[in-house]
Chains A and B, each alone.
Chain A
Amino acid sequence: MAANEKLNPVDVLSEIEAKFEMFQILNEKGEIVNEDMDPKLSDEELVELMTRMVWTRVLDERSTALNRQGRLGFYAPTAGQEASQIASHYALSKGDYVLPGYRDVPQLIWHGLPLTQAFLFSRGHYKGNQFPEGVNALSPQIIIGAQYVQTAGAALGIKKRGKDNVAITYTGDGGTSQGDFYEGINFAGAFNAPAIFVIQNNNYAISTPRELQSKAKTLAQKAVAAGIPGILVDGMDPLAVYKVTKDARDRAVAGEGPTLIEALCYRFGPHTMAGDDPTRYRTSDEDSDWEKKDPIVRFRTYLEGKKLWSKDKEDEIIEQAKADVKAAIKEADATDKQTVTELMDLMYDVKPSNLE
């Protein structure tokens, strides 16, 4: 019997990978390198976006310190991810739904969650999760991937109600290995639902480097498996992140379905404050390389060039953020302690006999 010819499976990897080049608008020096794609935010909007990013950086510094003092509980540092978190959120409308992961507390705050409640979430108090009416969001999801499948449902709900809104969700690079990640983007695709799926690829899932998650060259290309558009963006570039999120939102609201966004970013701090030590798996060279890409540094340079930002302005924001944190912690301290009775009352709409 003659030997068979070797079958050539369809291999379009190199073609696909070539399509996922990193999209950037503002380079590390704060220069516009992609004028055509500049979202052309107004001066006020640019200042507001910078204000939020600086405020969020201070929140991270203070949260880390408060955690060390034992005045906060669970905390996943965010420094470095301000562009991917804040600029993506800045592209949303109030009525949009945010389904965050555990590191995505800043988006919730800017969506309307009072800071006091964010701190109560960290400490482990149910009042931290009682979102005010009109804050369309769920509390931070601990089960990695669950927020993705839920987002497909939230987006389908929006579509069925005929609203001009979207549901946005976030996971990390490690999270793209979960089944729920694929199911989420695939369901949203099959139902053509208005969802935005953001991957914040900060290169590490605790200590496991990105390369160990997948042989895929980009995470954005995983969109291909769902038959939906995907885009790789410089997650340290606020203008680029804003632009891709805004475009994804426009497409979703126009009935064109979901988008997967991979934002390349970095977390300067540890995975969480629960004893993770990044020096065990990251080099200081790596840290300093990424520090040069700091989204706040490049955006500051850009805005100073446009005479929209100054050291005084920044100091004012920093002081405001510190004052906000102080007031919120004080308010959190004054919140009544929880009781078992309260917990039992929260469980069901109609209490079953075993809780009576």
Chain B
Amino acid sequence: MAQMTMIQAITNAMATELKNDENVLLFGEDIGVNGGVFRATEGLQEEFGVDRVFDTPLAESGIVSLGLGLTLENYRPIVEIQFFGFLFEAMDGIAGQIARHRVRSGASKSTPIVIRAPFGGGVNTPELHADSLEGLMAQTPGLRVVIPSNPTDAKGLLISAIRSNDPVIFLEHMKLYRSFREDVPEEEYEVEIGKASVKQEGSDVTLIAYGAMVQESMKAAEELAKENISAEVIDLRTVSPVDYETLIESVKKTNRAVVIQEAQRQAGVAANVVSELSERAILHLEAPIKRVTAPDTVYPFTQAESVWLPNKDDIIERAKEVLDF
């Protein structure tokens, strides 16, 4: 075990796979000698060489499509998009091409590509850096969308993503990069993609969250406990596909649920979760499932983040509404 921040765990996962498989390549804007704008790829070019870890021209469409082309020679690209707000430049490359590559070849080709990108609010970034766009990816058949909330999951999920023969969108919340450390195993291990994690068991209400909202939910659960409300906190970890089995099992026990996301109400994946649980667990519900989300505006100007982003207080309020229903 070693104490690691989430970003160190991510670097560690990439180093592990660069070592394990010579077909793994890592590229993007400023990820080489610079080690990435967040130091996620620090030291990797030095260790593995410029043939394995390299910088690209500044063009997101070109970068992700370079990845697709490289799979024809059986490379396994880890592609970095500097900030996920720049997704729109690469939307055809990802949703129109990479997500469809296997099926459009009648499964005669595979697409072992990981697209890593930072996102998420609370760190005062300029425009189109922090937007939560996972909903767009989750609506795209052919992709898996992974969002870790802690260093241990980040390492295991990223190793699984790199080993997957299907494309994975791996979204890294900027606020979580260095906000805390935890013991992370130094050896290689996988965390299964598509499996949620019960962060805290509870019996009164299920709080379903992902990304930075997991920590907010944990804080909310702690405060609710002081009022003798027992909240079960579930970290989705993968937002496409969602692990409904784990969610349904929890709802059968608590009979109440709140789905929490940082994205706007019309975005994210919360609406999916609510509708699936409504279809599959309605008879176990004592109250409507409520959502904690950001308002349906453009991502806020920096100074408005604190009043716009959802937080633990919003979660507590919504949980109580569900309990008092």
Contacts and interface: CB of A to CB of B under 8 A. Distances in A.
B103 A152 contact: no
B66 A129 contact: no
Contacts of A346: 102-103, 106-107
Contact of B106 (A130, A180, A183): A130
Given A131-B108, A139-B105, A154-B70, A349 B166 contact: yes
Given A156-B69, A160-B75, A349 B62 contact: no
B69 A153 contact: yes
A220 interface: no
Contact of B69 (A126, A139, A154, A179): A154
A136 B73 CA distance: 10
B241 A153 contact: no
Contacts of A153: 65-72
B65 A345 contact: no
B51 A160 contact: yes
A154 B72 contact: yes
B56 A126 contact: no
A interface majority secondary structure: helix
A184 interface: yes
A348 B241 contact: no
Contact of A157 (B75, B105, B165, B243): B75
Contacts, number: 127
B164 A152 contact: no
Given A130-B106, A143-B96, A347-B103, A186 B59 contact: yes
Contacts of A126: 103-104, 106
B201 interface: no
A157 B72 CA distance: 7
A353 B194 contact: yes
A102 interface: no
Interface string A121-139: 0000011111100001011
Given A143-B92, A347-B141, A348-B142, A152 B165 contact: no
Interface string B60-94: 01100111111111010000000000000000110
Nearest to B89: A179
Nearest to B90: A149
A142 to B, nearest CB: 9
Contacts of B110: 349
Contacts of B242: 354
A345 B61 CA distance: 28
A160 B23 CA distance: 10
A160 B65 contact: no
B93 A152 contact: no
A41 B54 CA distance: 42
B189 interface: no
Contacts of B194: 352-353
B97 interface: yes
A157 B92 contact: no
Interface string B138-151: 00011010000000
Given A180-B65, A348-B142, A348-B166, A353 B104 contact: no
A350 interface: yes
Contacts of B241: 352-354
A186 B62 contact: yes
Contacts of B244: 353
B108 A146 contact: no
Interface in A331-353: 343, 345-350, 352-353
A179 B62 CA distance: 9
Contacts of A149: 61-62, 65-66, 69, 93
Interface string B164-181: 111000000000000000
B57 interface: yes
B142 A347 contact: yes
Interface string A162-202: 00000100000000000110011011001000000000000
B26 to A, nearest CB: 13
A51 B83 CA distance: 53
A349 B65 CA distance: 20
Contacts of A150: 65, 68-69, 97
A83 interface: no
A146 B164 contact: no
Interface string A4-34: 0000000000000000000000000000000
Interface in A83-136: 97, 126-131, 136
Interface in B207-246: 240-245
A248 interface: no
Nearest to B112: A349
For B56, B71, B72, B141, the residue with the greatest tally of chain A CB atoms inside 10 Å of its CB is B72
B94 to A, nearest CB: 11
Nearest to B142: A347
A252 to B, nearest CB: 15
Nearest to A167: B69
A161 interface: yes
Contacts of A143: 92, 96-97
A149 B62 CA distance: 5
A183 B102 contact: no
13 contacts: A129-B105, A129-B106, A129-B108, A131-B108, A146-B65, A149-B93, A153-B69, A158-B73, A167-B69, A187-B66, A343-B103, A347-B102, A349-B102
Given A126-B106, A154-B69, 8 more contacts: A131-B105, A146-B97, A151-B69, A154-B73, A157-B73, A183-B61, A345-B107, A349-B110
Interface of B: 51, 56-57, 59, 61-62, 65-73, 75, 92-93, 96-97, 102-108, 110, 141-142, 144, 164-166, 194, 240-245
Closest 5 CB pairs of A and B: A153-B69, A157-B73, A149-B65, A130-B106, A183-B62
